[in-house]
Amino acid sequence: MTTANILMIATSAAQMDNGDATGVWLEELTTPYYAFSDAGADVTLASITGGAIPVDQRSVAPAGENDASVERYLNDADLTAKVAQTPRFTDIDPGQFDAIFLPGGHGTMFDYPDDLDLAALVEAFDRAGKVVAAVCHGPAGLVQAKAADGTPLVKGRRVAAFTDSEEHAVGLQDAVPFLLETKLKDLGATHEAAPDFEAFAVRDGTLVTGQNPASAQKTADLVLQAVADIRAAA
């Protein structure tokens, strides 16, 4: 696998509007991080405002009861230190990266959509033919982004994201500012999905998206393949 330089940008939102604690869904950060790094990629971890990335505690079980990547993270002093102190993504030169990756978690619904700097970065990567990727609620970072002609970046493109059905299944349909599947469809995206909580990811050119936490590995694999394809074609 061709070495890639990947910028992961996590949420900085630690609370939902109803006051409940939230943050990144840890598996959606750890699974792609290790998939990328194990493949030889250089991964830079950043966040919306910098500092510690809030971790949704619902995504962390007692030791020995987690997804393999979360268990690995809990014993990884290097990555836990990176999560505890990240740079703000705007303080990083984006020119060195082949891809950006937006992990999910309900926190993303409260800071990704309104961050115009994030939308601008997504637009810049997309127009440069670089990979833009997101998983679960991470595609909330795509909703403000525009194509070169001013239409929504996702219009006419195949995308996956946490579904409305899944949002109802976890009982948070009234806690989020909008339902992500509905929003993407309203923007003209061609939304695709597997049954609730099954692994599913889709690649449409340089845009890679995944449905839910279980989809993190599939999404990461498609990112690595997309980067390799771009480099092979250069």
Among candidate residues 213, 195, 220, 210, the one with its CA nearest the CA of residue 106: 213
Tell me phi and psi for residue 207, to 5 degrees.
-100, 120
List the catalytic residue out of 27, 28, 166, 167: 167
Cα 217–218–222 angle (5° rounding)? 115
Given 27, 28, 137, 181, which residue is catalytic? 137
In the block, which residue shows the tokens 């997804």? 67
Instruction: Exactly one of 27, 28, 106, 136 is catalytic; name it.
Output: 136
Task: Show the tokens assigned to 194.
Answer: 């597997």
Asked about 167 being catalytic, the answer comes back as: yes
Catalytic residue list contains 136: yes
Q: Where are the beta strands (DSSP E) in the chain?
A: 5-10, 42-47, 99-102, 131-135, 158-159, 190-191, 201-204, 207-210
Q: Which residues contact 171 (CB under 8 A, 6 or more apart)?
A: none
Question: Hey, which residues are catalytic here?
Answer: 136-137, 167
